Amino acid sequence: MAEFVIGPLISMVKEKLSSYLLDQYKVMEGMEEQRKILERKLPAILDIIQDAEVKGAYRPGVRAWLKDLKTVAYEANDVFDNFKYEALRREAKKKGQYNMLGIDTVSLLPAHNPILFRHRMAKKLQKIVQTIEVLVAEMNAFGFTHLEPAPPSVQWRKTDSIMLDSDKDIVSRSRDEEMKKIVRILLDEASNMDLMVLPIVGMGGLGKTTFVQLVYNEPAIKKHFELRRWCCVSDDFDVGNIANTICRNIEKDREKALQDLQKEISGKRYLIVLDDVWNRDADKWGKLKTCLKQGGTGSAVLTTTRDSEVARIMTMGVAQAYSLETLGEKYMKEIIQSRAFRLQMTSSDELDDIVNKIVHRCGGSPLAAKAFGSMLSTRTTMNQWKDILAKSNICNDRTGILPVLKLSYDDLPSHMKQCFAFCAIFPKDYEIDVEHLIHLWMALDFIPLEEEAHPETVGEEIFRQLTWRSFFQEVKESPPPKYRKTNGMLCNKTTCKIHDLMHDIALSVMGKDCLTVTDRTSYTKPLPDPTRHFFLSCHLGKQLDDFLKKQPPTLQTLFCTYGDFLSHLLEYNSVRALHLQQNLRHQVRSRHLQSQHLRYLNLSDSDVITELPQEISMLYNLQTLDVSFCRRLHQLPKQMKYMTCLRHLYTHGCRSLTHMPPDIGQLASLQTLTYFVVGTSFNCSTVAELQNLNLGGQLVLHGLQNVAEAHAKAASLGKKQKLTHLSLKWNSDVNEVQDSHMKVLDALKPHGGLEMLRIDSYKGSSLPSWMIDFSLLQQLTELHLIDCTVCEVFPEFCHLKALQVLYLEKLDKLRSLCSDMTSMVFPALKKLKLRDLESMERWVSAEGKDEVTFPVLEKIGIKNCPKLTSLPEAPKLKVINVNEGKAQISLAIVKATYTCLLSKLKLSVEDREATLELDPENHESPLTELSLGGCNFLFLSSPSQPTIGFWKSFEKLVDLEIKNCSGLVYWPEEVFQSLVSLKNLEIKSCDKLIGPAHVNGEPKPTAEQVLPHLKIIRIRKCDSLVELFSLPPSLRSIYVCDCNKLERIFGKGDQFATPCDGHASSTVVEQSSAQANHPPPNLEYLFISSCGNIAALPNLPPSLKSLYIWECQELCSVSGQLGALERLVIYGCSKLLSLDSLGDLPSLESLTIDSCKCLASLPGCHGSYSALRVAMVKYCPSIDMKPLYKLDQQRLDRLEVRDLSHAHSSDPYDGAKLREPKSWKYAIPGCQDWAIRRHRNP
């Protein structure tokens, strides 16, 4: 049953009633009497509303009264928003906007006629006043009393910590023994199984997710599993979505997503966490489980669930699910006290006694303890603590901890209740962008107005307080992805989630006001009417159309990530927030945006939008406009200066934008402008327009070659104290006047609190004084200097004591990072990248001086710095990435002893003549990832002692990539002898690699102990490769692509005795076992693509689970006893004749055969398809489909048949028949009966 939080709504109407705009433009002329009545009645309602909300929970009459009050309050809110819009419209018209737009405003705006406007609004207002007078009379009859709200805690408002590490530490200590038990199960018991599924079951709020996070991040687990993935499932157990999450992609086709999942995990020992599972459908779990079986031995899935039946269905490889114990009272007390005693109030015996009683009421739930502790932290007297205790109930198996969480919600101030309850619009486990959330609160008027405080600041404080009380969790700050940062997104993004129990609280409050639809198949009930906040992330088709047609115009929030809503927007003048990110399929037209009340509009990530309609500037209430990463957008509306309420304009990533609209400086409320392009037209804004804008966050100034010094000074960047990230970019060449660049950059001096600075394509000969002495930028943590090709004077970078990231590219005159007159220490630098620095030859300017040091440097990247010959002293270096012509730095790295501290090393060298001279004494290295490009000196036909000595250092190496290495001719057995831990090997674009070394024309025997733990080998684009090497028994997966001369996969035993042609027999003539190199006995995954010289694949190992053969044009036959094969895909093998030699395939679940024009038969015999779920056979004109159609009453999940010969696919026959598949495509159209459809030509 929904609750009512109406006080903030009434307060909002009261505030709008007294707006100065209404008097200034006389929009309420003739309605003064109604206005006075409301000015008297609304405060009277506010005086008792808190008591009414409390009594509405148990008195039906009061509940009905509150419902009517809520309805009329929303109506009044709309009316006063109409008054405000009319005032803003008249203001814009007075300033001449309509003349400038040159449009027929009469047809566009319903409020164009003042007389008609007054008449219509007077009728609505009169109705509202009459209703409120009736409600006030009833209110007096109910006898409500005034309740004093609890005063806010002063200390609470000073809280500056969002996440409480102490809580996590307490939980970690309390769960230590249980965590060790689960870790032992995963490392020991699961190690010999194909797949273990271990559910963690327990009541909500017990800390299951936190517990599994501790297991997931345990160092031993990280080391043991090759692949780890986390997936939040919640209510929607969609196997396609789960597969996408695990693979980190956005594939919309479910089957393709499942294929990607199998490729992702194939042969790898993985750990996958499925968090918060509710699915009881064994078939859905079965489909996912089939894919998950493609992993390597020792793979495991951990799930968390509250439902013991779900746990029973999913358990696999263990006797039973693991029931998480309740948290011990000792630790519960620690959590409560860590929060409750953050005040100046100190503990006492009486307070401890109350805490002990509260511990008992928490039922061992950490979430309940956090909620109680946070509530107590806002109370400063003993009586207040006792009051909390008196209101609380004991948690038990029936109620769980919901009563405690509800008490915590009831304890919130009314405006915070409204802010949190709105979050019910998001699906469970949804990652919420905090900045956007606050802007949505603003758009819906949830944030109360405070004198001398921006609504954004108040919103941030509300978010902090709600997080402190555990209404939000998993708050994290993430840097932008690389491609977004390159295109102008500089600031980190803060996100959060809501615990599912807290989400239940929000849903119980919002009731039908909120609607969230994420899965069309699971949402079969009629959509509720009315709805105020709607979240949609799936396609509903006609169901959505019907819903929108019958909806009254009450919709205020539309958050859509799927489907096309533009055609419906005309219906909804009430919309305040419209979020259509990545969703637009058509251009936005003026008719789509007629909502006068729109405050939040997100059209970001669109590849469709080229321009916005000019009429968008008539959205006078708009506060937030996000068009970021609209890559084709080339201009903004010219009359944006009239959007006087606009506070946030996100334009970063709009790479086609050529200029900014004129007079943008008139947007006096603007707080955020992420990307400003300086145009050349007279009819656009110059940077001088920024002078009076109090911008914060990030600002990218692009096109500074068009800026005059006077305009740069007028921009007053130094006064914009809220700016944190600044990027300055010229589009120019060396021939431009250098003095102009220098003057402009000097004039763009920022304030001293800047965190990130990027300067790109600056052509001045020196940097300005504010950069050279760096006294201004002592808080700078990130610096990028790019393409400053003529600059000769650079700062002493090590003077930036807070600097953590330094990126230098195309600084042609830079010779060193430091002079010998400085400390030569970078105390905070963690990441250093140097690229295309043609003159840089040393780290410190004076030769012979002490070297520059980087005490905390973790990552270094160097590319095309031809004069640099060494690395600096960096004792904590973890990652090195070097790309160079000559092997100067690379040779220095492999000789250096401190490489023993590395975990990842990537070297790319063009020099083919370099040689390695290394001290025979090698040093053991913990290196786990190594990538070598070129580096011929490490692969000699006769390896030298130094080369072998280098490889002996890498006993812990797990991943090795070798590419573009012409020195690699034969399988480097000797240098690989020491790689005893290697699991993944990739060799690509090594054009001289032939295969194993030969002695007297025969392959040289390979020692079995070479690469004893290798699991996966990938070979790509090796044009000379003839045959693969003798592979170790441990191998699980083989990928071979684009090797045009490859003849054999597993040695000479692969070959036919005679070549095949279009009429040859498919029988394989095998060589003696003595001559054949047998395939790895544990091989599970084989992928062969575009290997045009392979004629046969005989004797495939019986361990295979997945076989992919793609465009092998000479392939004639495939054979083997594949009883374990679960997935078979063959595409584009035009000479393949038969698959009869594969024998019976009892485990086959998925079969795809496509574009094999000579293939005459399906694989196996009748028993091959007992496990089949999916079959797709297309463009195979010779194939006989009878074996598939004769399946006795079997039902496939999916059948797709297309372009098959009539003679082979439609011969009638008697006997048992395949049942109609759950999903079929291209089967016989026009036939009503499936049995008939089965026999007709597609």
The number of domains in the chain is 3
Is residue 942, in this structure, part of any structural domain at all?
yes
Query: In this predicted structure, what is the pLDDT of residue 789?
Result: 92
Q: Are residues 134 and 181 in the same domain?
A: no
% pLDDT > 70, the chain: 81
Which residues are 1117's β-sheet partners?
1096, 1138
Query: In this predicted structure, what is the pLDDT of residue 1233?
Result: 44
Domain boundary among 98, 117, 142: 142
Q: What is the residue whose two structure tokens read 């469970």?
A: 428
Domain boundary among 271, 296, 323: 323
In the chain, the amino acid numbered 961 is E
Is residue 328, in this structure, part of any structural domain at all?
no
- Residue 426 · residue 516 · CB < 8 Å: yes
Would you say how long the chain is, in residues? Answer: 1242
Q: Are residues 138 and 184 in the same domain?
A: no
Chain center to CA of 739:
44
Q: Are residues 110 and 224 in the same domain?
A: no
Q: Which of 810, 583, 814 is nearest to 797 (CA)?
A: 814
Task: Write the CATH number for 296.
Answer: 3.40.50.300
Domain boundary among 288, 323, 358: 323
pLDDT tens-digit profile of 753-807?
A: 999 999 999 999 999 999 887 778 889 999 999 999 999 988 888 888 999 999 9
- Residue 1095 · residue 1056 · CB < 8 Å: yes
The Cα 269–Cα 194 span in angstroms is 9
Top pLDDT among 714 and 399 is at 714
Query: In this predicted structure, what is the pLDDT of residue 691?
Result: 95
pLDDT tens-digit profile of 1090-1109?
A: 999 999 999 899 999 889 99
The Cα 246–Cα 395 span in angstroms is 36
Return the minimum-mean-pLDDT range out of 318-332, 377-391, 994-1008, 1171-1185: 994-1008
Q: Are residues 134 and 86 in the same domain?
A: yes
pLDDT tens-digit profile of 37-64?
A: 998 999 989 888 888 888 887 888 898 9
Query: In this predicted structure, what is the pLDDT of residue 886?
Result: 84
Highest mean pLDDT, choosing among 418-422, 516-520, 915-919: 418-422
Q: Are residues 132 and 181 in the same domain?
A: no
Q: Are residues 101 and 205 in the same domain?
A: no
Query: In this predicted structure, what is the pLDDT of residue 594?
Result: 64
Helix (H, G, I), strand (E, B) or coil at 172: helix
Contacts of 493 (CB under 8 A, 6+ apart): 433, 435, 477, 478, 480
What is this structure's pTM?
0.83
How far from 837 is each of 201, 789, 800, CA to CA, in Å? Answer: 57, 9, 21
pLDDT tens-digit profile of 927-960?
A: 889 999 988 888 876 666 667 777 888 888 889 9
pLDDT at residue 583 greater than cutoff 70: no
Query: In this predicted structure, what is the pLDDT of residue 528?
Result: 67
- Residue 1242 · residue 1204 · CB < 8 Å: yes
- Write out the two tokens for 1173: 């779920």
pLDDT tier at 1048, thresholds 50, 70, 90: confident
Dump strand ranges (E) for 459-599. 473-478, 493-497, 514-517, 533-536, 557-560, 577-579
pLDDT tens-digit profile of 100-138?
A: 665 544 444 544 677 888 888 899 999 999 999 999 998
Which helix (H) or strand (E) covers residue 930, if one does?
strand 929-933
Is residue 213, in this structure, part of any structural domain at all?
yes
Highest mean pLDDT, choosing among 290-299, 412-421, 1186-1195: 412-421
pLDDT at residue 1234 greater than cutoff 50: no
Q: Are residues 308 and 224 in the same domain?
A: yes
The Cα 208–Cα 692 span in angstroms is 51
Q: Are residues 72 and 185 in the same domain?
A: no
Measured between alpha carbons, how far apart are the two ends of the chain, in Å? Answer: 53
Q: Which of 406, 389, 390, 395 is nearest to 355 (CA)?
A: 389
In the chain, the amino acid numbered 831 is K
Is residue 267, in this structure, part of any structural domain at all?
yes
- Residue 345 · residue 380 · CB < 8 Å: yes
The Cα 665–Cα 711 span in angstroms is 13
Is residue 44, in this structure, part of any structural domain at all?
yes
Is residue 399, in this structure, part of any structural domain at all?
no
The Cα 325–Cα 365 span in angstroms is 10
pLDDT tier at 161, thresholds 50, 70, 90: very low
Domain residue limits at 932: 909-1035
* Mean predicted lDDT score pLDDT of the chain: 82
Is residue 1176, in this structure, part of any structural domain at all?
no
Q: Are residues 1018 and 920 in the same domain?
A: yes
Is residue 982, in this structure, part of any structural domain at all?
yes
Q: Are residues 182 and 318 in the same domain?
A: yes
Q: Are residues 64 and 11 in the same domain?
A: yes
Query: In this predicted structure, what is the pLDDT of residue 1070?
Result: 40
User: Any idea what the Cα angle at residue 484 is, between residues 690 and 781, rounded to 5°?
Assistant: 70
pLDDT tier at 571, thresholds 50, 70, 90: low
Query: In this predicted structure, what is the pLDDT of residue 229?
Result: 92
Q: What is the residue whose two structure tokens read 């669109």?
A: 606
**What would you measure as the largest C-alpha separation in the chain, in angstroms?**
110
Which residues are 515's β-sheet partners?
534
The Cα 898–Cα 905 span in angstroms is 12
Query: In this predicted structure, what is the pLDDT of residue 599?
Result: 95
Q: Are residues 125 and 189 in the same domain?
A: no
Produce one character per residue of 984-998: b if its CB has 16 or more CB atoms within 10 Å, e if not.
bbbbbbbeebbbbbe
Compute the radius of gyration of the chain from its Cα atoms.
35
The Cα 1223–Cα 1201 span in angstroms is 12
Asked, as a colleague might, if the bond just before 530 is cis with ω within 30 of 0, I would say yes
